[in-house]
Amino acid sequence: MFWVRVVSFLIAFLLVQGASAATAEGKKRVRATITPAAAGIVVRGTPSKASKRATQKVPAAGRSSRNSAVAAARHKRHVAPSKVGRYARFSPRPHRMMPYEEEDPTNLSVRSAAALVIDLEQGQPVYEKNPGSVMPIASITKLMTAMVVLDAQLPLDQPITITDDDLDAMKGTRSRLPVGAVLTRRELLRLALMASENSAAAALGRSYPGGTPAFVAAMNRKAREVGTRSTYYVEPTGLSSSNVSTARDLGQIVRASYRYELIRDYSTTESYEVEIADGRERLFHNTNGLVRSGEWDIGVQKTGYISEAGRCLVMQVTIAAKPYIIVLLDAVGRYTRIADANRIKRWIEAHYAQRRRII
């Protein structure tokens, strides 16, 4: 009887151990079916804790396809994007990712809000973009300021003192000409055109016979004389957004200003040094980098910027041995107007090369 109990106990013990092993093996098989769910996912670098948790989550049976899609989308967020994907998503300038074909020089597309290119030999525009839109023109105003000063035939060597009245009370911009500095009208004219000095332009208007009001009236008369229709001035610097014009009108103003030798000379001066006080000298540079580049043949030019007007640029240039006028208004970004000018130059050169091959 004793042996029968021992044998029964051993048989029961063996049966219990076998069941436990089977259960453990079953659990292993269940875990093995979970592992392939994360297979094929490549994570660059050390996985984060969130990534590890995401690889362990498995949609329960019976969930809708929508929930599965949401779970999959959450899981994908932990996958490190490639450099190209990251650049395309966060780049503040998506135009830099444009394909090369869109920069084809034979297919001109400028970024400025308004643009005009005039072939002066034909006397006709060869490219227009919003040419009749009236908008602020900022320091392009100073071309008209220079024409009015020269038309008045005032003595260019007359000394003029910079006063508090010449400081910028509208925008609060600073001038490199201190109050009390004494410069000739000639020097003020050069600095207004090449360095876009607002105090110099204000002093030119203030020292005009009748003062600034008479000067502004003369500016508007001159605008009518050169054939503009939508141009209006309220002050001589361009700091006011009420100084407005159109790309088409500015083409007329650039054409008129080119007839003045001093405007051609002063607006294209690369740098100029003046004595401001007590023998101290100050060096000024041209605001148009194309003048200093050595790659452009520029006859007359003027840049402009205030927040309401964006960045503006007008030029009379020679490209492919032909004279052109280029007007660019309301360019967003520091280098957009320069990039647009270079696009126009390449476009003209490409068309000129095509004409030569045809001939």
Which residue numbers are catalytic?
139, 142, 196
For residues 186, 188, 191, 192, the Cα torsion angle rounded to the nearest 10 degrees is -110
Helices 185-194 and 141-151, packing angle to 10 deg: 160
- Residue 125, token pair as written in the block: 């525009």
Neighbours of 234 (CB within 10 A): 15
DSSP string, 69-132: HHHHHHHHTTSPPPHHHHHHHH-S-GGGGS-GGGG-TTS----SSEEEEEETTTTEEEEEESTT
- Rounded distance between C-alpha atoms, residue 197 and residue 284, angstroms: 9
Structure tokens at 186: 């000639």
Please give the single-letter amino acid code of residue 303: T
Residue count of the chain, please give it. 359
**Tell me, what amino acid is at 212?**
T
In which region does residue 83 sit, left (phi positive, over 0), alpha (psi from -120 to 50) or beta (all else)? alpha
Of 228, 345, 230, which Cα lies nearest the Cα of 295? Answer: 345
Half-sphere exposure of 328 (CA within 13 A, CB side): 30
CB neighbours of 309 closer than 8 A, spacing ≥ 6?
135, 136, 137, 138, 241, 329, 330
CA 16 – CA 218 distance, rounded (Å) = 112
Residue type, 147: M
Q: Are 236 and 216 in contact (CB under 8 A)?
A: yes
- 354 vs 331: CA distance, rounded Å: 29
